[in-house]
Amino acid sequence: MRDARGFCHRHSWGLVRRGAAFGAAIVMRDVVRTLQRTLADARFRNMPLLSLTRVQETLDAQQPRSSTAEAVAALGPQTPCPVCVFEGDVEGALVANFLENLQREGGLLPAYRASDGFCLSYVRQILARVSGEAAFQMIVEAQQAIWTRLEQQLSELIRKSDYRYGDEAVGRRAPPGCVRLPP
Ligand SMILES: [Zn+2]
C-alpha cells in the first residue's frame, strides 16, 4: 500500500462506505506518513542555466520541469494499485474461462450473441487472449452482430429525434443484459 501510494482513484472510492472509516483511516494515515517522508527527502535540482533542457523548458511552459522530476516520480505510485492487480488476475481467469467455454458444445456462444455483449475494454481483453483463428472468428462474428444491433438502435433513436417523427415512442424491450454463465 505504501509503495502504491494508496489505491488508485477508482478504487479509493471503495473506501467510502459506512463502517469502513476506522480501517481506511489506519491505512491512509500510513500512506500519508510515507508521502510526508518522501516529500521531506525531495530536492530541487538546479539545472545549468544554458543547458538545452533548461532552454527547452523555458520555451514551453507546459513541459514538466527536470528540476522537480525526481520528486514528482517519488511521490507517484512505485507499484500498481493492489486492487487493480487483484482485479486483473480475476478478469484474466474469467476471460480464459469464457474462451474455453465459448468453443465447447452447448457453450456460451448463443448467449453471448443474443446479449448486449461486452464493453470495449473486455472485447479487447478477450481478443488479446485468443490463440486460435476459429475462436477469433467466433468472437468477431458475435460482436459484429451485437454492434450492428446497437448501431441500428442508435440510428433509430436519431431518426425519432427528428421533429417529423417526434410522436413515435422511443425505446425497445428491456435489454437482455450481460452474458450469464450457466450454473
Ligand atoms: Zn485500482
pLDDT in tens, 147-181: 999 999 999 989 888 878 777 777 665 555 555 55
Residue 128 pLDDT class (50, 70, 90 cuts): very high
* Distance from Cα 175 to the centre of ligand 1, integer Å: 29
* Distance from Cα 15 to the centre of ligand 1, integer Å: 12
Q: Can you read off the three cell numbers belonging to residue 7?
A: 489505491
**pTM for the whole structure:** 0.66
Domain ranges of the chain: 9-75, 83-165
* Distance from Cα 84 to the centre of ligand 1, integer Å: 4
Burial of 6 (0-12, 13-18, 19+ CB in 10 A): buried
